[in-house]
């Protein structure tokens, strides 16, 4: 297992795009883990379901969903990520959805790098609401 303590002291010093880079992987792993633990499905079905949850439009919806549950520090990270200017442009999303998704990913990356795993799971549970599960 990765010794995350090596990174925690400097989590707030990473650029928002670096936080989003890590957060993208964390969010994707959480989605995949949740899908696998819900039911034993074929890999292609899991991939299709995971892609629907990690695409920019879905992450943008989660951006708005979790805002009222955030601390001031978390909200600042979320907005810092949203306001970052990535070198690449959105391919299959609006600019606003892409920016919001980057903000969400930056928050998850920050929380991971600062060792706040319990908080990550709390916020992920908000993103993964009961209404969403009915669609599966």
Active-site positions?
A: 24
Buried b (16+ CB within 10 A) or exposed e, 93-108: beeebbbbbbbbbbbb
Token code pair at residue 91: 């391919």
Report the alpha-carbon distance of residue 11 to residue 124 in Å, rounded. Answer: 19
Token code pair at residue 18: 């670096």
Using alpha carbons, select from 5, 29, 7, 33 the residue that is nearest to residue 18. 7
Question: Phi/psi of residue 84, each to 5°?
Answer: -65, 150
Token code pair at residue 64: 């708005």
Report the alpha-carbon distance of residue 8 to residue 6 in Å, rounded. Answer: 6
């Amino acid at each position: 297992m990765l010794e995350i303590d090596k990174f925690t002291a400097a989590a707030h010093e990473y650029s928002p795009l670096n936080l989003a880079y890590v957060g993208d992987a964390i969010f994707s792993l959480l989605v995949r883990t949740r899908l696998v633990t819900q039911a034993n499905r074929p890999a292609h079905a899991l991939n299709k379901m995971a892609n629907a949850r990690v695409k920019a439009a879905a992450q943008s919806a989660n951006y708005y969903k979790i805002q009222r549950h955030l601390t001031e520090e978390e909200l600042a990270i979320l907005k810092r990520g949203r306001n970052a200017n990535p070198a690449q442009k959105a391919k299959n999303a609006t600019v606003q959805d892409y920016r919001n998704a980057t903000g969400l990913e930056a928050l998850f990356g920050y929380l991971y790098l600062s060792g706040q795993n319990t908080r990550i799971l709390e916020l992920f549970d908000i993103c993964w609401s009961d209404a969403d599960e009915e669609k599966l």
